[in-house]
Structure formats: C-alpha cells, structure tokens
Amino acid sequence: MPSNIENYPFLATIARGRDHLTTVEFGLVLNRTGQTIRKNLCLDGDAYGVRPVKLGGRLLWPVADIIKLLDASVNRKGA
C-alpha cells in the first residue's frame, strides 16, 4: 500500500496542501536546523536523499520525496 501524507499528520500540518516545503520547514520535519539541511546539500548534493527544486533563489523540497524518506525510516525501525 503506497503511503500518503495522512500517515504523517505533522508533515500534513506543515505542508498545508502544498507540494513543496521550504528549507526551514523541511528541517522541522526532520528535527534539524535549516543550516544543517543546507550543509548536507552542499556536501552531498542532496539532504538525506532528497533533492530540492531551485525556484527564484530558494530551495523547495518535494513533499512526495520527504514522505519516501520518512517511510524508509519507519520501515528500517520496524525491521
């Protein structure tokens, strides 16, 4: 069964129906600072396996990819 945003109410609250999150919002979901997210992006080319979309000088993080990251984390803990 594919996961959806309703499985993550905190993410749904932050996203408010949007398809992308800001860097600070992405950090809130992962309990990291925005600076940590940006550092990981600079060092690795992604942050925790999620690549942002650059729009108008801003980094926007796809909610669908964040859900995949969270699903992988839940599956790893459950194993």
DSSP-assigned letters across all residues of the chain = ----GGG-HHHHHHHTT-SEE-HHHHHHHHT--HHHHHHHHHHHSSBTTB-PEEETTEEEEEHHHHHHHHHHHHHHHH-
> pLDDT at residue 15 above 50?
yes
Looking up tokens 């801003």, which residue turns up? 58
pTM: 0.89
User: Residue 75 above 90 pLDDT?
Assistant: no
User: Hey, what domains does the chain have and what are their CATH numbers?
Assistant: 5-78 (1.10.10)
How do residues 21-63 score in pLDDT, each as one tens digit? Answer: 999 999 999 999 999 999 999 999 999 999 999 999 999 999 9
- What's the pLDDT score for residue 19? 96
Q: Which residue has the tokens 């599956």?
A: 75
For residue 79, the model assigns a pLDDT of 56
